[in-house]
Amino acid sequence: MTATATDTATLARKLQDTIAAGDILGAMNTFYADDIAMQENANEPCVGLAANIEREKEFLAQVKEFKGYEVKSLGVDGDVALIEATMDFINQQDQPVRLEQVSVQRWSGGKVAHERFYYDASGK
């Protein structure tokens, strides 16, 4: 079943709101398919919800204090959502970090089936 743009937009916004509330792992458990494929830039995708949750836990271990998450833009076309967002946090070395990224989500059956993140990996 292909979601309508309205359904996908509603779900994508709820997902982003959950992330903004600081519940990233809860968002993954609620909105991601069991066989989710998540891809960082041109890297090989990480497949499976459990594997992606473990990868996210590794990222979250670097976060000392979550400062905020802001969606700059969100667009939907059928079952595809495009999100431009920033995340701010203090890392374990007490340094402020701002991540800026665009993600492309492909939804199926009310869950994200594939997500690819695009960002500057140079650290600049």
Domain total in the chain? 1
- The two structure tokens encoding residue 75: 């667009």
- Please report whether residue 112 resides in a domain: yes
The answer to the question of residue 124 being in a domain is: no
Mean pLDDT, residues 1-22 taken together = 85
Tell me, yes or no, whether 19 lies in a domain: yes
Within a domain: 53: yes
Q: Quote the domain boundaries for residue 89.
A: 5-118
Q: Tell me what the mean pLDDT of segment 54-69 comes to.
A: 95
Structural domain contains residue 62: yes
Enter the pTM of the model: 0.89
Instruction: Please compute the mean of the pLDDT values over residues 106-112 and round it to a whole number.
Output: 96
